[in-house]
Structure formats: structure tokens, C-alpha cells
């Protein structure tokens, strides 16, 4: 999948599911469209997105 993080070993990119959620798809709709997914997979995608966007503190380097 070109280096994209996938859900378990399903070859479904997390970004695909996150995009669906961002577009307003409901959990039941996604689970119908992707029957190999489980509800915990959707939670894992959201946790992944939260991890990616977490606040980071960087030390300033002296000039």
C-alpha cells in the first residue's frame, strides 16, 4: 500500500477510514462497506490520528 499504515493485515489504509469518518460516514456504514473491519479497528484509526496530531514541544537551539 505504498507505505501507508494499514489496519491490521487487511490492506485497508487507516487514511481511507479516517477520510470516511471525516466525510460524515457513520460507523455502521463503514462496517457494512468494509465487512472485514471490526468496531475496534475504527477506534484504532481515531487513536492513530490523535497520536499523529499530538502536541510536541521542541527545544530551541541557541543561535
Whether residue 63 lies inside any domain: the answer is no
Q: What is the pLDDT along the chain (63 residues), one digit of tens a residue?
A: 678 889 988 999 999 999 999 999 999 999 999 999 999 999 999 999 999 888 777 788 887
Q: Is 25 exposed, middle or buried (0-12, 13-18, 19+ CB in 10 A)?
A: middle
What pTM value is reported for the model? 0.78
Q: Is residue 56 part of a domain?
A: no
The total of structural domains in the chain comes to 1
Question: Is residue 6 assigned to a domain?
Answer: no
9 DSSP assignment: T
Q: Rounded to whole angstroms, how far apart are CA atoms 6 and 11?
A: 6
Whether 22 is covered by a domain: the verdict is yes
Euclidean distance between CA atoms 60 and 63, whole angstroms: 9
- Is residue 46 a contact partner of residue 15, using CB atoms and an 8 Å limit? no
Amino acid at each position: 500500500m505504498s507505505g501507508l499504515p494499514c489496519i491490521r493485515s487487511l490492506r485497508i489504509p487507516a487514511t481511507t477510514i479516517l477520510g470516511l469518518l471525516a466525510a460524515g460516514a457513520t460507523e455502521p456504514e463503514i462496517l457494512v462497506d468494509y465487512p472485514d473491519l471490526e468496531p475496534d479497528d475504527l477506534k484504532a484509526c481515531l487513536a492513530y490520528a490523535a497520536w499523529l496530531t499530538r502536541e510536541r514541544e521542541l527545544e530551541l537551539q541557541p543561535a
